[in-house]
Amino acid sequence: MYCNTIEEERDLLGKLWNVFDGWVVHKASDLAAGTYDVPGNIACPKCHIGMIKNLGTVDKSRSNLGIYSMKHQCQSCREVFDRIDIGEDIYRNAPHEMIDALETPLGTFRVLLNGKPILFCHSTYTSEIEGHELTEHLMDIDTSQMKKGDEVFTGFETLKLESIGSDEREIYIAAENDDYYMVFNGEEITVYEANLDDYTFESADWNEHGFEYVIHQDLDNLKNIKSRFCRVITQSIAWGLKSMCENYAEIIEQAAW
């Protein structure tokens, strides 16, 4: 790790991704194939002297839409900051616990492998949204030891959740009782949204209780892929009191997203 704390390392990673994402969204699609110097204003966390230079590359030789990448390198010490590597370091070093159930105000969350409960990695992240401090519960299910054909369920046995939205690779479902509102963010990996050859798992379905996945290939097939997202099913849950404010739903949804 380049920083002294997980929080600082997350902040560094967030800044690097913001530079890359901002360039891709607002600029890269209009550029011809080539390499471009992208402004970033990020100080090097290793030598504490130089600034990080961001070189964005547009490759249109294999796709008319373009393939975009970016190299982040300190102009002084020449250290290269790989976003995937930094994310993996954060994942390995962040405080976590292995549990077989997460108790929530609306029910018990579990992970089932072929119908039987298994341990999963649980960690928390606290953020302040519009003056309200909320905790996001992160659940990671590592499929490394699972085999092709295995079925994974994540969710609640009795709770009835309803869809409240989705984006490219996530579905958001929610439930509430008299006092609490809860949002469950489930990863969605399908042939329509991702290259399944890069993942051990794929989404099978979701219902009012949670999400279903199937292992479609063994980890041995992914030897050249280093990102944990290709083998780890990542989900999050956030809840809060409805009495916190009038727009409690919007705030809790932000915490889970």
Question: Model confidence over 104-160: pLDDT tens digits?
Answer: 999 999 999 999 999 999 999 888 899 999 999 999 999 989 999 999 999 998 888
The beta strand positions in 8-131, using DSSP E, are 34-38, 52-59, 67-74, 97-99, 102-104, 107-113, 116-117, 120-129
Q: Which of 70, 90, 110 is the last residue of a domain?
A: 90
Shared domain check, 192 and 75? no
Q: Which of 58, 75, 90 is the last residue of a domain?
A: 90
Q: Which long-range contacts (CB under 8 A, 24 or more apart) does 101-105 make?
A: 102/137, 102/139, 102/237, 104/182, 104/237, 104/239, 105/177, 105/179, 105/180, 105/182, 105/239
1 falls within a domain: no
Query: Residue 60 gets which letter from DSSP?
Result: -
- Of the chain, the percentage scoring pLDDT greater than 70 comes to 98
Shared domain check, 235 and 111? yes
CB 134 within 8 A of CB 126: yes
pLDDT score for 116: 97
Domain that holds residue 58: 6-90
Shared domain check, 100 and 79? no
Please state, in angstroms and rounded to a whole number, the distance separating the CA atoms of residues 60 and 66. Answer: 5
Question: How high does pLDDT run on average in the chain?
Answer: 91
* Tokens found for residue 124: 């928390």
Please state, in angstroms and rounded to a whole number, the distance separating the CA atoms of residues 152 and 140. Answer: 12
* Tokens found for residue 85: 């590597």
Please state the domain count of the chain: 2
Please state, in angstroms and rounded to a whole number, the distance separating the CA atoms of residues 236 and 122. Answer: 9
pLDDT score for 64: 61
CB 164 within 8 A of CB 175: no
pLDDT score for 158: 84
pLDDT score for 32: 85
* Tokens found for residue 112: 């089932």
Shared domain check, 122 and 241? yes
Low-confidence stretches of the chain (pLDDT < 70) are: 62-65
Shared domain check, 240 and 163? yes
Shared domain check, 173 and 150? yes
